[in-house]
Amino acid sequence: MAMEKCFGMGTTRATVLQHTHRHFASIDAPCFTKAPMMKSSTLTSSFFKLRCSNRSNRIVCKSAVNQVEVVTDCTWTELVVAADLPVLVEFWAPWCGPCRMIAPVVDELAKEYSGKAVCFKINTDDCPNIASQYGIRSIPTLLFFKNGEKKESVVGAVPKSTLIATLDKYID
């Protein structure tokens, strides 16, 4: 499912890519449905990399690993409240200096906790209803959710160790 989301391809093509043990260049060009204007070789180098190990080859979607997904009013319930894993949500705005300082830290946490927790960000200028619903009065504010329930909040650009300690409390 992650491959279909990342590459915009059908299940059959994703299955072929997941189960092949040949070098990717020797596979037929994948069907990229979301970016028809780009050559598949450009997409190949831009969107994923092939990591080789002794046992098998793995295709890793860089965009799924390296980015914190944006959540909005419309996707809040689906992505945050209904999440099976613990969730970290960063409330931010583009004009906020401390928000820009903490963004790379949240990106690192998204990578490090991949599969254990999910990290999202929400722009308070674009989604003021969610911010007011949770009493966000200053940014950056990071809220921690587990089983759809707000557990804790951290306000300000805090060190990574503070966020790790808080997130670790909610990891099973």
Cis peptide before 140 (omega within 30 of 0): yes
Write the CA distances from 21 to 46, 55, 108, 132, 159, integer angstroms: 21, 9, 30, 50, 42
84 class by beta-carbon count within 10 Å (0-12 exposed, 13-18 middle, 19+ buried)? exposed
Find the DSSP H helices in 49-169.
62-66, 76, 97-112, 128-133, 160-168
Contact in structure between 154 and 104 (CB atoms under 8 Å) = no
Q: Amino acid identity of 163?
A: L
Q: Which entry of 6, 74, 99, 127 is annotated as an active-site residue?
A: 99
Catalytic residue list contains 99: yes
Catalytic residue list contains 119: no
Q: Which entry of 6, 96, 119, 127 is annotated as an active-site residue?
A: 96
Active site residues: 96, 99
